[in-house]
Amino acid sequence: MNTRRTMMARRAMSAVAITTGLVLTVAGCGGGGEDKEPDKETSSSSARGGSGDEKAESQAPEGDKALAEVKSNGITLTVTSASRDEGGFITVSGKVTNGTSGIWVGSEWRSDENELKKNGGSLAGASLIDQQGKKKYLVLRDTTGRCLCTKFEGGINESQSVDWYAQFPAPPEGSSKVEFQVPTMPPAPIELSEGE
């Protein structure tokens, strides 16, 4: 009977030793608390919708070379690029900043066209005006009626900036100056650049 108890005690001690060794090994591979702090900060700031790095990035393009900036009702629309692409279309892009005191969903920027209404808060209502050619170019859409533009799903939080883009048919080669127009915003005169 004593040998049986001794064998059981040895097995229990072995199990405890193996478990302790595994726990220490896993803890050693975990990397410690120093590496986890930046990750926690990054993930929590992403969940809030922005971080200090994003604010620095959003300020850099404004300082670099904005083609145009227009403001209305607390919203700032900045155009940073308007380039011709080889496929015969124009891609216009930039940032939109919510300066209001709540979430902005972009519903006033949606299109009045039946096919594009289902895009919701988006740049579906944007257009390019070619004064020289006397033409208005509407946002391109895919075969299912979705605009080739940014959709502001979930809205933009107060003081947050979000990148946007919209694609349009290209005006003729001679037209290099157009007006980018979004409902409720003043027109933004921009100069088109040749794509790469």
Q: Give tens-digit pLDDT for 39-56.
A: 444 333 333 343 334 333
Residues 172 and 119 in one domain: yes
pLDDT at 64: 57
Give me the domain span that covers residue 43. Answer: 2-47
Residues 33 and 118 in one domain: no
pLDDT in tens, 55-111: 333 343 444 588 999 999 899 999 999 999 888 899 999 999 999 989 988 888 877
DSSP state of 40: H
Residues 27 and 93 in one domain: no
Residues 22 and 97 in one domain: no
- In the structure, what pLDDT confidence band is assigned to residue 11 with cuts at 50, 70 and 90? low
Residues 81 and 137 in one domain: yes
| pTM over 0.75, yes/no | no
Tell me how many degrees the CA angle 77-122-95 measures, rounded to the nearest 5.
Answer: 25
What's the total number of domains in the chain?
Answer: 2
pLDDT at 58: 37
- Which of the pair, 178 or 22, is modelled with greater confidence? 178
Residues 114 and 156 in one domain: yes
CA dist 19 and 127 (Å) reads: 66
Residues 104 and 152 in one domain: yes
Residues 24 and 84 in one domain: no
Residues 40 and 74 in one domain: no
What do you get for the CA distance between the two ends of the chain, in Å?
A: 86
Residues 24 and 91 in one domain: no
Residues 86 and 167 in one domain: yes
| Residue 55 is assigned to a structural domain of this protein | no
Residue 126 CA neighbour count, 13 Å, CB half: 31
Residues 107 and 37 in one domain: no
